[in-house]
Amino acid sequence: MLAEGARLYVVLSVCDLRLTTLQDTLQPLYLSSSQTKTSRVHYLIPASEPSLNLCANIISGLANRYPTASILGYNGKGQFDAKAGHIAKLYSIQRYLHGPAGKHEDDLVIVVDGHDVLAQLPVEVVIERYFEIMGRHNKVLADRFGLNINEAGRKDIRQSVLFGADKLCFPRLRNEPQCWAVPESFLPHHVYGKYTQDRSMRYADPKYLNSGTFIGPLGDLRQVIDAALLLIENTWNATSKYRNSDQYYLGKLYGRQEAHRTEMMTGSVPRTKGSRILPPQSHFGTDQMDLHIAVDYESAFTATQCANVQWMRNIAFSSPDHKSVVKKNNPKKQHPFKPFTVQMPGNVVSALTKLYEALDYDQPASKWIREVKLGTNIATGHIYPFYHGTCKKSNFIQRYKDLWIYPYAKDLLEAAAKAKGSLTQQMVDGRWWIPARNSPRDQLGGVFTDENDAFVSLETFCGRYLEQLVPEMAS
């Protein structure tokens, strides 16, 4: 749980940007009176320059009412140059977390890659969903240690930094703990079919860390990023194949944490055998082994595309009670199939209805919500807030055009640019949530960059791509 006075940050990762200087315009801590708790949301995208995919990402966030994105590492040089390697995003995030982010350690940060991630659901759903997901993860972790939630919390045994999940360990270094020491998922047995846990990746439970999307409190996330960069400093090898992979280093932190947790529970790390290795303590440069890292087994935060395509479907929730009946089996799921239902959560109905009703369309929202198709992991039953296009990139723009926002993009952007006040319709975790920074009034919104703290309008930053991404502008 986040404490009073916390703020929320959302980070997205990419590679470059630009113009108009502004001072850091952080919102006041309270909406109206000293009795009202508020927290702030920052939307951060480590990036170096505009691209078609990045602009699709930015538009999907603005349309879903995320705060104006702060682009980190824009025109980055040296260690902040994302074109030179993925680890540049770690340096850009660290610079932000130790500077403009402030000192409120209970603030929340979301990080997603910029060139292959799309926001599908409104920001208020993500805020609520984060606390729901971590509640499940913390219950499972406490059970593993034979503790109740309160006892686990007192012992600082907890999960707070949530990463996306892969079905395959990458880089494929099977002897390193990030590939063998991580726990199995808590998903129901055979949720992906009778061959779950076999060698076919499509049937496997996702349990390996994917660094393309993550969310967590500022203080805990700062420790994770600092630990990753310390590991890089202590083990840098200019000839290593994976020297510039942020996922490689973050995965090593997760593997070390899970090996440590196993040792705490059993007194040993039983799966060390043959050539399996535990990196020496000197590689990490810190005694802190538990960084409160978890991975999103459920696609409740992010759906990673690789080996999940068969389970990711755009479906309409057309029944009066907002359910969808899945009638078609996955041809690869080799066991008897029975149609089943997936429920659209009430907060998703409410959040989408709010955005649609801000537009001037004749179709009633109650009819529209039953026709709109949403990307859903039909194995886990979650409508995912973020889509992460791992493995295959060529279909990314088509994925963007399949989003519910696409036909209404211009109107949604204009409505978002005028929006004020709380990002949520009710208090979440005992607080209201507001954007971290006041954006200059602009017709379609824009982005902040960390180059002289500049605001750039969307038409300036993404001008060359808008006709491809906003159909009303093309016509």
Tokens of 368: 């529209």
Q: Which residue has the higher pLDDT, 363 or 335?
A: 363
160-200 confidence digits (pLDDT tens): 999 999 999 999 998 999 999 999 999 998 888 766 555 67
- Helices 218-235 and 246-266 cross at an angle (nearest 10°) of 110
With contact defined as beta carbons under 8 Å apart, do 326 and 378 qualify?
Answer: yes
Integer Cα distance of 355 and 218 in angstroms: 28
pLDDT of residue 408: 97
Domain assignments of the chain as residue spans, ordered by start: 10-302+387-474, 309-383
**Cis peptide leading into 279, omega within 30 of 0?**
no
- Is the per-residue pLDDT at 33 higher than 60? no
Tell me what the mean pLDDT of segment 244-268 comes to. 94
pLDDT of residue 37: 86
- Is the per-residue pLDDT at 76 higher than 90? no
* DSSP annotation string for 290-316: ---EEE-TTSSSEEE-TTTGGGEEEEE
Q: Please tell me the pTM assigned to this model.
A: 0.91
pLDDT bin (cut points 50, 70, 90) of residue 41 is confident
